[in-house]
Amino acid sequence: MRRYVPILRWLPEYDSSWLRADLIAGLTIMALLVPEGMAYAELAGVGPEAAFYAAPIGLLLYAVFGTSRQLVVAVSSAVAVMSASIIGQLGAADAAEFAALTALLAILAGVVGVLAGLLKLGKIARFFSGSVLAGFVSGLALVIIVKQLPKVFGLEGTEGNVWERVWHLIGDLGGAHSTTLVIGASTIALMWALEKWFHRIPAALVALVYGILAVTIFGLADEIHVVGEIPSGLALPQWPDVAATEIMGLIPGAVAITLVMFAEAVGPARSFASKHRYRIDEDQELVGMGMANLGAGFFQGFPIGASLSKSAAADAAGGRSQVSGMVAAIATALVALFLTPLFENLPEAALGGIVIVAVSGMFKWGEMRRLYRLRKIDFWLAIVALLGVMTFEEVLYGLLIAVLASLVALIMRTRRPQISELGRLPGTLQFRSLAVHPEARQSSGLLIVRPDETVFFANAASIREGIRDMVDGADRPVETVLLDLEMTNELDVPGAEMIEELHRELEGLGVELALAGAHAAVEDILERSGVLEAISRDALFSDVSNAVLALAERTPEELDDPDRAAIIARIDELADAALAHAAEMTEDERRRLAGVVDRLNRIAERDQ
């Protein structure tokens, strides 16, 4: 139970001195959650009261089952937009059916999350390219902003992708409602100013109060669109009133929401854990987010996810544990029970402005600039994902573009694998890439190569061809190729077969193949596949240093007269290493090195 219900581990050990900070952090979360939650509920296509149904139970269940102490799982703009897009394709007959389908989608996303966590699929987020995800999330931010702009201008929203909506908006600007525009624009300006110069003040809450006061004081309720009456209280748990046949149609959307929800949350969760020196369990995070969505769905809410802005605010307020989430859940529930009549005069334009400012932080300006500066291909992959989300009206198609872009990135990497040639750093027995350390020395007759990624079926042929090109293009005769497998933790059968094929090709050229740094699993597959028998077990070494020493021990007697200069060069190299760094070597390295130097010296003296 302690393994699958983390609250049983941390709550008995809770430090009471943290309570004050957690209370402040919890109230901070609530202050942000109420206005943003109502706005995000509208993004999801349901009434603002759905935020009060989904958020409290989501916060409580994540506190019980999650492992991050600072992450806030309540409402997410990205998940809300995806939910509206998925349900919108089903052609709901009315608002009640739309809300029921939305709740069912949350339940299914919860089931997917819990099952994925129990099956230990938490590592799946690592297969999302970070650069592609940045483009996808940035595209979603632009989609959300464009959808909210008609509210700010007092115009009717239109259908279509981002480009079509922008075109219609520009054409309709002449009909903008001036009072609505003043309310919406001033809300955006107010929030921007508060976040820039008074960032400790909950800008969204201030903007919500400002909008309500403006409508109430100036009597604008009949002139502009307002939220209107919001049902008080909390919903009772129930299974959504939806036909069973709808379930299969929602499963792909539930999987997509789970992927995006988890991929967006796991990075910040790791960051908070590193900052506060604790560990998260990625598999249990899936369970925690899944349980939060199950609760949100059963309590007639909508799919939820991690809120990065509220997480950062809670952390800045000093939140130390999941107790802050529990406090936020209780405070939000109290608002739902007693304070919803206060929101009747909340203008839709103010809600639109709150959303625009809130999601503007989703656009990864800094990350996009960083990608462009560091690696252009990552930048353009992010742009492809961004444009995919903006061009397709169906968000799932945009997600598919992002996934395909990630696969393209993987294929491009495997098509041109990085292979480093290693050399010995002067005065040491350390071997480093010649590209990074041009001062490193190459050994006579020996080519040391290291694939800088795991060898597997997708890149095996490219790695073999790359090594052959390095042998053919070497500026000195190559007698032995030493393949360093240090970066390969596990070798598949095609990878093993590639090594055997490389051995045969090199053998035909009169070049020996030796292996170094093979992990236990790699050595096992080489043994069982017969590759070690073909190459010879004597050609397998624990690491590059031992391989170079062993090859040097057996080489002198086999050298012909033209190689005497190489002998003298090798004496100098090894003697240099022995004198300069003998204290850093192991006893075995010192003994073997001394033996090699001694034998080489005797050969050189005899030749002279």
Contact indicator for 139, 382 with CB cutoff of 8 Å: no
Q: How confident is the model at residue 32 (pLDDT cuts 50, 70, 90)?
A: confident
Residue 172: count of CB within 10 angstroms of its CB: 14
pLDDT of residue 52: 94
Contact indicator for 380, 61 with CB cutoff of 8 Å: no
Orientation of helix 130-153 relative to helix 365-374, angle to 10°: 140
Q: According to the per-residue pLDDT averaged within each range, which of 34-43, 254-263, 284-293, 486-495 is highest?
A: 284-293
Contact indicator for 499, 515 with CB cutoff of 8 Å: yes
What is the helix (H) or strand (E) element at residue 307, kind and residue range? Answer: none
Torsions phi, psi of 475, nearest 5?
A: -90, 15
Question: Which is more confidently placed, 358 or 74?
Answer: 74
Sheet holding 540-541, edge to edge: 431-433, 419-424, 446-451, 480-484, 512-516, 540-541
* Separation between Cα atoms, residue 426 and residue 437, nearest integer Å: 10
Question: Which is more confidently placed, 414 or 68?
Answer: 68
Q: Which of 9, 59, 10, 66 is nearest to 37 (CA)?
A: 59
* Separation between Cα atoms, residue 145 and residue 137, nearest integer Å: 12
Q: How confident is the model at residue 450 (pLDDT cuts 50, 70, 90)?
A: very high
Tokens of 534: 């073909």
Contact indicator for 476, 442 with CB cutoff of 8 Å: yes
414: pLDDT strictly greater than 90: no
Mean pLDDT of all residues in 451-462: 86
Mean pLDDT of all residues in 11-32: 90
Torsion 355-358-362-365 (CA) sign = positive
555: pLDDT strictly greater than 60: no
Least confident of 169-183, 271-285, 341-355, 557-571: 557-571
pLDDT of residue 186: 94
pLDDT of residue 72: 92
| Burial per residue of 47-76, b for 16 or more beta-carbon CB atoms within 10 angstroms, e otherwise | bbbbbbbbbbbbbbbbbbbbbbbbbbbbbb
Mean pLDDT of all residues in 515-526: 91
Q: Is the pTM of this model over 0.85?
A: no
Contact indicator for 62, 73 with CB cutoff of 8 Å: yes
Helices first, then strands: H and E counts in the chain: 24, 6
Q: According to the per-residue pLDDT averaged within each range, which of 51-65, 390-404, 521-535 is highest?
A: 51-65
Mean pLDDT of all residues in 31-43: 87
Q: Which of 236, 215, 227, 234 is nearest to 341 (CA)?
A: 227
Q: Tell me the per-residue pLDDT of 263-309, one tens digit each, with 9 for 90 and over.
A: 778 878 887 888 888 888 989 999 999 999 999 999 999 999 988 77
User: Residue type at 86?
Assistant: I
* Separation between Cα atoms, residue 266 and residue 272, nearest integer Å: 10
* Separation between Cα atoms, residue 591 and residue 425, nearest integer Å: 20
Residue 206: count of CB within 10 angstroms of its CB: 17
Contact indicator for 419, 449 with CB cutoff of 8 Å: yes
**265-272 LR contacts (CB < 8 Å, sep 24+):** 265/71, 265/73, 265/289, 265/305, 265/306, 266/122, 266/125, 267/130, 268/71, 268/306, 268/308, 268/311, 269/67, 269/68, 269/71, 269/306, 272/68, 272/69, 272/70, 272/71, 272/311, 272/315
| Burial per residue of 507-543, b for 16 or more beta-carbon CB atoms within 10 angstroms, e otherwise | eeeebbbbbbbbeeebbebbeebebbeebeeebbbee
Q: Tell me the per-residue pLDDT of 62-96, one tens digit each, with 9 for 90 and over.
A: 999 999 999 999 888 889 988 988 998 887 778 89
560: pLDDT strictly greater than 50: no
User: What is the rounded average pLDDT for all residues in the chain?
Assistant: 84
426: pLDDT strictly greater than 80: no
Mean pLDDT of all residues in 221-233: 87
How large a percentage of the chain has pLDDT more than 90? 33
Q: According to the per-residue pLDDT averaged within each range, which of 43-47, 323-327, 527-531, 602-606 is highest?
A: 323-327
pLDDT of residue 590: 64
Q: How confident is the model at residue 584 (pLDDT cuts 50, 70, 90)?
A: low
Contact indicator for 330, 323 with CB cutoff of 8 Å: no
37: pLDDT strictly greater than 80: yes
Mean pLDDT of all residues in 218-239: 89
pLDDT of residue 570: 55
Least confident of 27-36, 196-205, 581-590: 581-590
pLDDT of residue 580: 54
**Tokens 């502009």 found at:** 224
DSSP 305: -
- Cα–Cα distance list, 51 to 159, 299, 375 (Å): 24, 10, 40
Contact indicator for 304, 54 with CB cutoff of 8 Å: yes
Contact indicator for 257, 79 with CB cutoff of 8 Å: yes
Least confident of 92-96, 117-121, 469-473, 566-570: 566-570
* Residue 204 C-alpha from the chain's centroid: 27
* Coil, helix or strand at residue 287: helix
Question: Which is more confidently placed, 371 or 264?
Answer: 371
Q: Tell me the per-residue pLDDT of 131-156, one tens digit each, with 9 for 90 and over.
A: 777 787 788 788 888 888 998 998 88
Domains of the chain: 17-171+229-346+363-411 (no CATH), 419-607 (3.30.750.24)
Q: Tell me the per-residue pLDDT of 310-336, one tens digit each, with 9 for 90 and over.
A: 888 788 778 899 999 999 999 999 999
Mean pLDDT of all residues in 29-36: 87
* Coil, helix or strand at residue 34: helix
pLDDT of residue 561: 42
Contact indicator for 48, 250 with CB cutoff of 8 Å: no
Q: How confident is the model at residue 251 (pLDDT cuts 50, 70, 90)?
A: very high
Mean pLDDT of all residues in 396-402: 73
pLDDT of residue 53: 95
Tokens of 141: 């931010």
* Separation between Cα atoms, residue 165 and residue 157, nearest integer Å: 8
Q: Which of 39, 61, 59, 60 is nearest to 50 (CA)?
A: 39
* Separation between Cα atoms, residue 63 and residue 56, nearest integer Å: 11
558: pLDDT strictly greater than 70: no
Torsions phi, psi of 386, nearest 5?
A: -60, -50
pLDDT of residue 372: 86
Question: Which is more confidently placed, 555 or 446?
Answer: 446
Contact indicator for 48, 333 with CB cutoff of 8 Å: no
